[in-house]
Structure 1
């Protein structure tokens, strides 16, 4: 049975499931989930991430890591961790930039947190002859040494509950079946003021929202912020989280499905399209701070990359390869332009108390 058929059978027997449960099943079902079987990144795939836009993205993050490691006192060993490494492009660009400081490469202990078997194979091929270690979860990376971590477009892959303001109170958005037996969205009434709904609650300001407005809550995103925050507070180090999302609490339905770079219905092809929701950066930072980490300001990706000197890097590359100058200009705009990734994508840093990573001095 396909994932669609199994979801239909489960719902017919047990009743509707939350958007968060549906999201998880679509991405991580062991047999038919998107990341378990068919993740497709890049121009020929379903979606393109910043590392695939230009080498400049990863190179500048690599330089940020070198400076952060220096500010940490150059510890050895240091866990170099990437969560959700995709096709391996980002970590390859980071390591290339890290050659500027051979001592860092000697101290670095490379770990990749990846749950997708197909992507692990792609990463291994791209990183050969290096031999990073793969784990399914961050807590499987050995403790006892400081870490420098990057997670690009990981938060948006974590499930969120959705709530709708109705005339009679709050309702949770569910995935059920219509009269024809097709997957369909519906509502489960929660009453006038729900305190907990399967681990998630509407934001406090939700009581003032108009009827029909959707708000989202992702305990999974907050839990990751807490886990990383606890880790850097205990062992030292810093983590960069980069994603598209909110820099302030707000409402809106951000659930989307992408297939071949086009938006499709999230219910149309479970397991065959990539599902995402916006990152809730305020919730992530709050959870990390409660776990003991220092948290920097929320920067836009454009401001972050410009602060690291991306314009100068683009000019250097253009000077050395004049035939690529126009392409580099387009790449620069895509990464930093307000109408492209520059404003929608945000960057936050979680760090050990007392450590001030570059560009986050105003924390």
Structure 2
């Protein structure tokens, strides 16, 4: 009776074998409870005041800030930045990501990784690199799933997990959640390494640059995972002056009289406005009614660094004729190449504090700042990217809705397994326990949140990017078989 809902899919024959090897013997049901540290109201007020003072001083010294500079300060200031000093994830934090909602999400990502590794690695060992891993929940679910795969695929024994995390505070939480009491070592490049509770090697880096500078092992197949990563990247905001029919950049100034930050339009062309005008970026919106757009150059710089890493890995491995690696992106955003989204205005910059939306100019450093990811721009960028390595080609799939991706990966099948395992466990071990029905309801509710169009099912999108030889034909990967 639990499966007469419109979002529960059928399991396809294509992923049946992987499910059997991973889940038939795996009755693990992750606890939904999570621990979280929090700052006192007094400390939060002090932190906010100190960061605001620094922002005001910078405005007074150099002039109004771009949104890009404001976001960098508010999110990653070494002492007062939102991500640098607190556990912001989970029910006790400020927002909940998909892996925190349901263990099934991470298990399905592990299935997807296994498909790509089996099909394209040509015997190379697997490297999984997660960007912005939060509390490490997704990586933990992937590592646990990979340990289950090891029972039938011994070649996974040399699987390595790499975490790109700028926050030392979050690095410590990730280490605790992934490694238990296993100590870590620090090399000469300030890179931390340890072992997960499942026995896999795990490494931490503060940036993709540090990953690029690290000594690479030979014969590796890298897969990058970016789940709710790019939405926190700094953006520039532009508004069209309807009278003059020209674009101006929106800036953040300080109102001395009211003692608060405020929005203003730049009086002159800013450097980013000039750059985008020269590149013809605004031409995309010349025939539309859109009067407000956002642009994040850091996203494209980061994706270029990832692709460079994958290409260089291929050159060093002497695997120029193979698929070099891939990237899987999951984030909330829009795709302007989809006609249904083309007329929407692009004013998506917002803030969240304790699961509630708030003014992004209030309490800098105390709230998460975010903006929708422009998947169409990502696709245009990677497909028109100059070839930097011989014969390397970029293949891009998506963006598709999260509910489509998870449906094809078999979310309904895995949910049914967990419900049956929970019921069987209670019948055999605790027949008088009446609480198991609450656990079943929680499993169903968490899956519904991931899939329902009123929750995350449509709002979140998936995109996959493959890097390989231009002579290799890549079919749509599993999860992306629906019409794009």
SS in 2 for 1:13: helix
In 2, Cα distance between the equivalents of 1:154 and 1:325? 30
Aligned residue for 2:247? 170
Residue 228 (structure 1) aligns with: 306
TM-score by length of 2: 0.70
Q: Is the 8 A contact 2:351 2:369 kept in 1?
A: yes
- Judged with a 3 Å threshold, the aligned counterparts in structure 2 of structure 1 residues 295 and 120 are, in CA distance, closer, same or farther, namely same
Cα distance in 2, alignment partners of residues 83 and 343 from structure 1: 23
- 2: CA distance between counterparts of 1:75 and 1:288? 27
Distance 1:200 1:256, change over 3 A: farther
Worse-matched range after superposition: 250-259 or 338-347: 250-259
Q: Which deviates more from structure 2 when the two are superposed, residues 291-300 or residues 15-24?
A: 291-300
Query: Which segments of 5 or more consecutive residues in structure 2 lack a partner in the other structure?
Result: 1-48, 183-195, 315-323, 388-392, 424-436
Partner of 2:454: 339
User: Does 2:303 align with 1:303?
Assistant: no
Pair 1:315-2:394 in alignment: no
Question: Is 1:50 aligned with 2:114?
Answer: no
Deviates more, 1:246-255 or 1:44-53: 246-255
* Unaligned runs of at least 5 residues, structure 1: none
Distance of aligned partners of 1:310 and 1:30 in 2 relative to their CA distance in 1, 3 Å threshold: same
Scaled by the length of structure 1, the TM-score of the pair is: 0.92
SS at the partner of 1:44?
coil
The one of 176, 183, 200 equivalent to 2:261 is 183
> Number of paired residues?
361
Aligned pairs (5 A) from 1:33-182: 33-73=81-121, 75-102=123-150, 103=154, 105-128=156-179, 129=182, 130=196, 132-141=202-211, 142=214, 143=216, 145-166=220-241, 167-168=243-244, 169-180=246-257, 181-182=259-260
Partner of 1:267: 361
Please identify, of 228-237 and 180-189, the stretch whose mean Cα deviation from structure 2 is larger.
228-237
- Shift of the 346–114 alpha-carbon distance from structure 1 to 2, 3 Å rule, reads same
* Gap change, CA 1:122 and 1:133, over 3 Å in 2: same
Choose 136-145 or 261-270, whichever is displaced more: 136-145
3-state DSSP class of the match of 1:132? strand
Measured after TM superposition, the shift of residue 259 of structure 1 is: 0.7
The structure number with the bigger radius of gyration is 2
SS at match of 2:94: coil
Measured in 1, the distance between the counterparts of 2:400 and 2:454 equals: 16
Aligned match of 2:286: 207
CA shift digits 1:44-93 (9 cap, x unpaired): 10000000000000001011111111012453433211111110110111
- Report if the CA contact (8 A) 2:237-2:292 is conserved: yes
Shift of residue 99 of structure 1?
A: 2.4
Cα gap change, 1:75 to 1:66, in 2 (>3 Å): same
How far apart, CA to CA, are the structure 1 residues paired with 2:407 and 2:422? 21
Taking a change above 3 Å as real, the CA distance of residues 5 and 32 of structure 1, as seen in their structure-2 partners, is same
Query: Aligned equivalents of 2:421 and 2:466: distance in 1?
Result: 36
**RMSD (Å) for aligned C-alpha atoms:** 2.4
Among residues 12, 19, 23, which one is paired with 2:60 in the alignment? 12
Q: Is 2:332–2:460's contact at 8 Å kept on the other side of the alignment?
A: yes
Query: Partner of 1:33: helix, strand, or coil?
Result: coil
